[in-house]
Amino acid sequence: MDFEIIVATTSEDKMSEFRQFFAGYSISLSSLKDIDLSIPINETGATFLDNALIKARAVARYVNKPVLADDSGLQIETLGGFPGTKSARFMAGTPYAERMMAILKMLEPHHNRRAQFSCTLVLMQPTGDYRIFIGTCSGTIATQLVGANGFGYDPIFKVDELGKTFGEASITEKQKYSHRGKAVEKLITCLVNNNIIKKMR
């Protein structure tokens, strides 16, 4: 039987990425939509870890299975780390294309366009014990939206290791170089090394 994890998200884009990352392993992933769980989660933390723990603990009250919670975002150096933990809530309700254009407008007076994507994963057991896995990806903010792949802020984030935006990157490239991909890789290594999951042939 596959090891089952409840992922503390209702985002179809995020679930699609997680399923791609875990493809080929003996693990089953279910989103909050999959288990028909609708609960208010107030992400009031000051850090990605704070918010990941808030999500994990909120969901863990309702399920007796391991919970995986993710908090991640774009941090722009010259804007003091903005939008950071507010990445998903910045201009909430408007298309990401408009949000990205707003950020490009903010950066017009600045020469420094350095930025990073950060991801913090928390895997919480029913006992309340948890492990933390962190991934980061360095890059710069492009001067315009480039590419239609990925989601969120991907079309304006030019990845140092790729020399192009995540909007231009293939699924394989994003799995290897993205902040979430790097964090998930650490999680998978932990689960495999502890004989919790295995790679399927």
User: Residue 2 — very low, low, confident or very high, per pLDDT cuts 50/70/90?
Assistant: confident
Cα–Cα dist 32/6, whole Å: 7
Give the residue numbers marked as catalytic. Answer: 71
Q: Within a 10 A sphere around the Cβ of 73, how many other Cβ atoms? A: 24
138 and 160 Cβ atoms separated by less than 8 Å: yes
* pLDDT value for 9: 95
Question: Is the domain 3-193 a CATH 3.30.1360.230 member?
Answer: no
When the pLDDT of each residue in the chain is averaged and rounded to a whole number, the result is: 95
Tokens 């003091």 map to which residue?
A: 80
The answer to whether residue 125 scores a pLDDT higher than 70 is yes
For the segment 87-99, the average pLDDT, to the nearest whole number, is 95
The answer to whether the pTM exceeds 0.85 is: yes
Cα–Cα dist 174/168, whole Å: 10
Listed by start position, the domains of the chain span 3-193
The 10s digit of each residue's pLDDT in 33-79 is 999 999 999 889 999 999 999 999 999 999 999 999 999 999 999 99
* pLDDT value for 1: 57
* pLDDT value for 128: 93
Q: Within a 10 A sphere around the Cβ of 36, how many other Cβ atoms? A: 6
* pLDDT value for 68: 98
